Amino acid sequence: MIAALRQFDDITAAGILARAALALDHNPASDYHSVPNEVALREIVIAEAARAHGVAFDFSSPESLEKITDALDEERDALLAPRDPLSALERLSERGTLPSDLFEIDIIRNISEFHREKFPREERLIRETVRSPDKEQHFGPPSEPGQPFLISLFGKYFPHQYPLKGFMLLVAGQRKGLRLEVHQAWRLYPDFVSGDSKSLVDLLQRFSDVFRVEIELEGKRGHFILTADLPNKPGVTARWSAVAGEAIRKRNLERREITLTCFTQPHPVTQVPQAALAVAIDLNKYRRFLESRDY
């Protein structure tokens, strides 16, 4: 810190530095004083900042004035910088405002197992979607029952010379500090799933409409369930499997590969585990569709 400012708290000192920089530019905002004899104090501060940053003290030189202003700004920013930047970034993540290119991305094994030898390419697209999405939607910290939380969705369109092969990749992940655990990554082709919705959750539901399998979670039945309680007791997984199996038998179909993918998180009030953004997808049907597009 500038020695002449050590008697002040960080906020007051930062204000003096900011007004000193404004005074160099003859900005009227510098007329405000927060401490006695501030004008004289600023002169001391300016001279000390110039010496500390190796800047020639020449008020007649625009280049010198610019460098001194930069030095004052640098000293001010150092005072206002968070003392614990990691904690600050984690708070941004919790609120859903962390820039997505700062996330450490973990992709669950189910996704790699589905794509098999094509996973390296799909992984690259997933990471590109999170790093530079066209659309994004974030659920913040727990606020009210019946809503997901700490979940982020990203969408990015990947064009192709043949329009039917262009698609939006929809990625959904759980935020855990600076980590993003990706549980879902689906290709949305516009002739099957329209991408004109502002809500990525709505697009996820439209996707599940196409490749759906009916499930039941604690009395909620469907192929897309925003949230549902998951009491910590045996039989929950068996219940959705039984419903899917019943549907298969009724249609007299061959055994299918089915996935129920969701985020498991504690209910914000009862702390009972709940499933969020649960979708049940017929993976055989989805794989056949992807292969028809030579993905």
Mind spelling out the 3-state secondary structure of 253-291? CCCCCEEEEEEEEECCCCCCEEEEEEEEEEHHHHHHHHH
Is 117 in the same domain as 60? no
Is 264 in the same domain as 125? yes
Q: Tell me: the pLDDT tens digits for 192-207? A: 887 677 799 999 999 9
pLDDT for residue 113? 93
Where is pLDDT greater, at 227 or 181?
181
The domain boundary, picked from 80, 113, 131, lies at: 80
Mean pLDDT, rounded, for 118-131: 96
pLDDT for residue 245? 41
The domain boundary, picked from 50, 80, 110, lies at: 80
The domain boundary, picked from 15, 46, 80, lies at: 80
Is 148 in the same domain as 233? yes
pLDDT for residue 243? 42
Confidence of residue 152 (pLDDT cuts 50, 70, 90): very high
Where is pLDDT greater, at 157 or 36?
157
- pLDDT > 80? residue 48: yes
Q: Tell me: the pLDDT tens digits for 60-83? A: 788 888 888 888 888 888 887 766
Q: How far is the C-alpha of 184 from the C-alpha of 186, rounded, in Å?
A: 7
- pLDDT > 80? residue 46: yes
Average pLDDT, the chain: 82
Mean pLDDT, rounded, for 96-109: 90
Which range is least confidently modeled, 152-156, 167-171, 250-254? 250-254
Confidence of residue 255 (pLDDT cuts 50, 70, 90): low
How many angstroms separate the Cα of 273 from the Cα of each of 41, 87, 239, 294?
59, 26, 16, 39
Is 263 in the same domain as 288? yes
Confidence of residue 244 (pLDDT cuts 50, 70, 90): very low
Beta carbons within 8 Å of 166's beta carbon, 6+ residues apart: 157, 158, 159, 160, 189, 190
pLDDT for residue 240? 41
Is 121 in the same domain as 51? no
Is 70 in the same domain as 18? yes
Host domain of residue 142: 87-292
Q: Are 172 and 182 in contact (CB under 8 A)?
A: yes
Q: How far is the C-alpha of 67 from the C-alpha of 195, rounded, in Å?
A: 49
**pTM tops 0.75, yes or no:** no
Is 92 in the same domain as 233? yes
Is 183 in the same domain as 284? yes
Sequence-ordered strand ranges (E) for the chain: 104-107, 135-139, 151-158, 167-176, 179-188, 215-217, 220-222, 224-229, 258-266, 273-282
Of 119-128, 198-207, 252-261, highest mean pLDDT:
119-128
Is 27 in the same domain as 151? no
How many angstroms separate the Cα of 125 from the Cα of each of 266, 267, 289?
30, 32, 18
Q: How far is the C-alpha of 204 from the C-alpha of 218, rounded, in Å?
A: 21
- Looking at the structure of the chain, the number of domains it has is 2
Q: How far is the C-alpha of 230 from the C-alpha of 26, rounded, in Å?
A: 64
Mean pLDDT, rounded, for 263-283: 81
Q: Are 181 and 110 in contact (CB under 8 A)?
A: no
- pLDDT > 70? residue 239: no
Where is pLDDT greater, at 229 or 156?
156
Report percent pLDDT > 90 for the chain: 32
pLDDT for residue 1? 67
Is 181 in the same domain as 284? yes
Beta carbons within 8 Å of 53's beta carbon, 6+ residues apart: 67, 68, 70, 71, 74
DSSP state of 35: S
Phi (first) and psi of residue 95, to 5 degrees = -80, -15
pLDDT for residue 29? 64
Mean pLDDT, rounded, for 247-251: 40
Is 93 in the same domain as 73? no
Q: How far is the C-alpha of 127 from the C-alpha of 101, rounded, in Å?
A: 9
Q: Are 42 and 16 in contact (CB under 8 A)?
A: yes
Confidence of residue 87 (pLDDT cuts 50, 70, 90): confident
Confidence of residue 159 (pLDDT cuts 50, 70, 90): very high
DSSP state of 226: E
Is 46 in the same domain as 152? no
Confidence of residue 176 (pLDDT cuts 50, 70, 90): very high
Q: Are 241 and 230 in contact (CB under 8 A)?
A: no
Confidence of residue 251 (pLDDT cuts 50, 70, 90): very low
